[in-house]
Structure 1
């Protein structure tokens, strides 16, 4: 038993180190993305605790940006709650798809899986193709990326409190350029590239025909076209 325990500790340390190494590129991206969310929250008059709770419970930057830019008279607590519950159904889907690859009972992974967002799911999906997902790896990836999102929100909010509007506008443009560059890297994958074009064309058609971008229409067109494209 002591020998097994001695071997388990280095293995756990290696899994933690691997998790940190895999997550680091995404940490920087999340910090910038959620900094923009924090800045927008401050601009719209929300307080810091509300923004931290907003990021911590939704953890979906596109939805958060959409809700923050929605006119106040069109936004209500019920709409925000339904949006948050709907988007967080992805956690259930993520968990079910990874369940067979977890190295141990699923209940021991609950803290990590409860805060697993898109980036963490992507890393663990890649990991499961190589070996079972250990608890140290899952905890490291999920909690590190979750902390990056919360920290980014706080940093962006504090920056907006200190900076003037002109500087905030410049910072928003820089962040948008960075995110666009990230999309460009993703486009090296043929399926991601086609998916981006489908979403972009659907948004353009919505703007042309309806006079505004209908997120529901863009989502429906993207999902249906992607499904047809990926069918065997």
Structure 2
């Protein structure tokens, strides 16, 4: 029994290290996206606890962007609740599709699955092609990405208090760019970081040279460059 424990400990460390390495590009992407969402929440007058709960329970940047940009008189608590429950039904589908690949009882994976993001599902789906998904690996990717979303929201909210009005006017557009940039990768998910960098640099160049952010120009550059990169 002690021998088995001694062997299991290095294996767990290896799974955690692998999980951190796999999650790192997505952590970067989520930090950027949710920082911008935190800034947008501040601009709309929401308090920090509300924004953290909002990100922690929904974990869907496109829906959050839509809700934050919806006029206040068109929103109500019931509509927000239904939207959140609907979008989170995807995690039930994700869990069912991964269930047979878990190494051990599904119950032991519940904490990780409760905070699973889209990127975590992607990583575990890739991982299961190589063998069973272990609990240390699932915990690492799920909690790392969840923490990135919460940290990004809080950081963006704090930064918004220091940003000038000119920058804040572009927040919602920049969020749309970074979300849409994920579509520009055109192929494997590991290229997501590449697409995010292209979108960010294109947005900065657009603001510098044109004095404004041209959404269509940024998306066109992102898609075309990512397509060329993936075809190379």
> What TM-score do the two structures reach when normalised by structure 2?
0.77
Q: Which residue of 2 aligns with 1:85?
A: 85
Higher deviation after alignment, 43-52 or 85-94: 85-94
Aligned length: 188
Change (3 A) 1:149 1:112: same
Distance in 2 separating the partners of 1:89 and 1:176: 23
**What SS is found at the alignment partner of 1:4?**
helix
Q: Which residue of 2 aligns with 1:37?
A: 37
Q: Deviations over 1:8-62 (max 9, x none)?
A: 0000000000000000000000001111110110000000000000000000000
Q: Does the alignment pair 1:129 with 2:124?
A: no
Q: Tell whether the 8 Å contact from 2:91 to 2:116 is kept in structure 1 after alignment.
A: yes
State the shift of 1:166 in Å: 1.1
Q: Which residue of 1 aligns with 2:23?
A: 23
State the shift of 1:124 in Å: 0.3
Q: Which residue of 2 aligns with 1:188?
A: 187
State the shift of 1:84 in Å: 0.4
How is 1:45-194 mapped onto 2 (pairs within 5 angstroms)? Answer: 45-169=45-169, 177-185=177-185, 187-188=186-187
Q: Which residue of 2 aligns with 1:3?
A: 3
Distance in 1 separating the partners of 2:140 and 2:32: 20
Change (3 A) 1:170 1:82: closer
- Where structure 1 has 5 or more consecutive residues not aligned to the other structure, the ranges are 190-232
Change (3 A) 1:74 1:93: same
State the shift of 1:167 in Å: 2.6
State the shift of 1:138 in Å: 0.1
Distance in 2 separating the partners of 1:88 and 1:174: 24
Q: Tell whether the 8 Å contact from 2:102 to 2:133 is kept in structure 1 after alignment.
A: yes
**What SS is found at the alignment partner of 1:162?**
coil
- Root mean square deviation of aligned Cα: 1.5
Change (3 A) 1:174 1:37: closer
